[in-house]
A and B are shown apart, each in its own frame.
Chain A
Amino acid sequence: MSSERLPIQGGSRVASSALAVTGSAVLAFLALPIIIVVPMSFSSAESLRFPPPGFSLRWYEAFFGDPQWLEAAVNSLVIGVTSSSLALILGTLAAYGLVRGTFLGRSALEANFIMPMVIPPVIIAVALYIFFAKLSILGAYWALIVAHIVVATPYVVLLMSLAIRAFDIRVEQVALTLGASHMQMLTRVLLPNILPNATAAWLFAFVISFDEVVVTLFVAGTHFTVPKRMFNQLVLQINPTITAIATLLIAFSIIAVAIGAWLTKGAGLQSGEEKG
């Protein structure tokens, strides 16, 4: 790539620096929200002022001292853990069947499983809203978890399909030939080997669920999650407590995704291409 590049001729030096300026400016534009929000969360000012006039942890105290925010955080955690765990189980089994299976229609099934990632969340939200309402389960906690599983599972299917495809099928065949049942092979040979990928897939599913807003807004009923409360507050007024929550969410996403990427040695970064 860059090492193959020949020395640039004099005439294009202007073009090169113009390119460098444009590129850096676009990167700055991309990073601007994070650059702004994080320092502001430590601001001592009552209003949103940048740069902050002084350092203070008051907005973090406001967040941790507010029972409504804490309730939302607990809900987000419970829903995130439950839905990503169930998504991991369902998605991993399905990924195994899709990759190693020999039955017909596998690509059609895979397309169907990936669909919730492709179509706009608002369509899923509308469909589930009316569906749950007609079944009289709209606003039920478990129905909200079901909705989150729908949204998170495609990521598990994608990541686990990649991992299983990369695992040498001959190891599986040896285990089966030596008398292991499929279940034994799966739990004692395949899973230990793809455990890092499974952990990463769980983390990505968890982040997806934790960040999910649109579907949650439609089907959550009276239950609040962190993004739902954030959204409601943002539409109404500008509350600096949000900067603290936003910073916590930024830290949380970065750590989770960094662990995920490290576990899959960068494979997770590419899968990120499709985040809907």
Chain B
Amino acid sequence: MTDLQTAAEAGTVGIERDRPAQRPRRRDKVFGFGFVVPLLAFITLAFNLPLLLTAAWSLVDPVSGSLTIAHYVEFATSSIYWTVIARTARVAFIVSVLCAVIGYPLAYWMTLLSRRGQVIALAIIVTSFWVSILVRTYAWIVVLGNAGLVNRALQYLGVIDRPIEFLYGELGVIIGMVNVLLPFMLLPLYAAMRQVDPRLRAVAYTLGASQGEFFRRVFFPLSLPALSASFVLVFILSLGFYITPAILGGGRVPLIANMLDILINRFPRWNLASAMSVVLLVLTLVLYGVYQRLRSRRGAASGQG
């Protein structure tokens, strides 16, 4: 903490030093760099360096200290890790598809609501978004448990005799993850849909299109880039999910993040954990690049509209 304060003070000193003598010269090539120095120093030490070292440790043999790709080979050849990686990819894909399938109609419906209705819907989404993931995950234990709301309702209605085991399996994990990640689908999608020029609708109707035709041939194609961008975003976030699988999966549905926890805390295999982190990091960054490209395409589409 004291180091940080010193760093912050050092930054202030830096600002004084950078100040041009008399008047500010805006064209000065290094103007403003002093302001960035404190955070740059902090992020370099507390974030970039640990990440770089993680990459380095993933290539080191813990016993001899020599360079090795054995940890990566272990992933590629071990069925345990493949199972976890395959499950993570499958769960992430299902969660993203479900978010898209139930998120799209809601976002579209919201654009048709009155101003007041839109504000209420947004308030619900944003509230749910800001409530702690732990709280939201916890609620699903109550709702989906064997004596939970859903099971008791189904039994009361006579649909089932014995409770359905939602929890401690993939189904519960997926329901919980969709609930947590849905706002990441809804907020950008709704924002993009609102950018579609409303005059297009009037033009389409004037030219004789039905509501369905307008949706299929004008609205949906225009919202597609935003939909795919949000799909990728939810997929990325699912890949690194830890809390929901740990609680709703009861340890039976470990995803990559839970595997990392086991590798670090249960049987210390730090180099292997580092290698797995690097794989997850590279995957995340590649997909994030895709996400950014899709987002900029969204910008272009709304620009035309």
Residues in A lying within 8 Å of B, measured CB to CB:
1-2, 4-6, 8-9, 11-12, 15-16, 19-20, 22-23, 26-27, 29-34, 36-37, 40, 47-50, 82, 86, 89-91, 93-94, 96-98, 100-104, 109, 112-113, 115-116, 118-131, 134, 142, 145-147, 149-150, 153, 157, 173, 176-177, 181-183, 186, 207, 211, 213-214, 217-218, 227, 230-231, 234-235, 238, 242, 246, 249-250, 253-254, 257, 261, 269-270, 272-273, 275-276
Residue of A nearest to B247 (CB): A234
B54: contacting residue among A27, A130, A177, CB under 8 A: A130
Contacts of B126 in A (CB 8 A): 257, 261, 269, 272
Contacts of B54 in A (CB 8 A): 123, 126-127, 130-131
Residue of A nearest to B3 (CB): A142
Q: How far is the CA of A112 from the CA of B51 in the complex (A)?
A: 12
User: Interface residues of A: mostly helix, strand, loop or mixed?
Assistant: helix
**Cβ contacts A to B, 10 pairs, < 8 Å:** A5-B198, A23-B105, A23-B106, A89-B38, A116-B43, A123-B284, A127-B51, A134-B53, A214-B257, A272-B187
Interface contact A103-B130, CB-CB below 8 Å: no
Q: How far is the CA of A101 from the CA of B11 in the complex (A)?
A: 15
Interface contact B135-A37, CB-CB below 8 Å: yes
Interface contact B47-A150, CB-CB below 8 Å: yes
Contacts of B35 in A (CB 8 A): 93-94, 96-97, 101
Residue of A nearest to B184 (CB): A273
Interface contact B139-A36, CB-CB below 8 Å: yes
Interface contact A131-B49, CB-CB below 8 Å: yes
Count B interface residues, CB 8 Å.
Answer: 117
Q: How far is the CA of A26 from the CA of B187 in the complex (A)?
A: 14
B53: contacting residue among A127, A218, A230, CB under 8 A: A127
Scoring A49, A122, A134 by chain B CB atoms within 10 A of each residue's CB, the highest score goes to A122
Q: How far is the CA of A235 from the CA of B244 in the complex (A)?
A: 11
- Using A150-B47, A181-B19 as known contacts, say yes or no to A33 and B149 having CB atoms under 8 A apart: no
B39: contacting residue among A93, A104, A217, CB under 8 A: A93
Q: What is the distance, in angstroms, from A101's C-beta to the closest C-beta of chain B?
A: 2
Q: What is the distance, in angstroms, from B106's C-beta to the closest C-beta of chain A?
A: 4
B125: contacting residue among A30, A93, A177, CB under 8 A: A30
Contacts of A122 in B (CB 8 A): 240, 242, 256-257, 260-261, 277, 280
Q: Give me 10 other A-B pairs in contact (C-beta within 8 A), A2-B113, A90-B38, A125-B260 excluded.
A: A5-B198, A9-B210, A26-B106, A120-B239, A123-B240, A123-B284, A126-B260, A130-B274, A227-B134, A234-B247
Contacts of A102 in B (CB 8 A): 26-32
B243: contacting residue among A153, A214, A261, CB under 8 A: A214
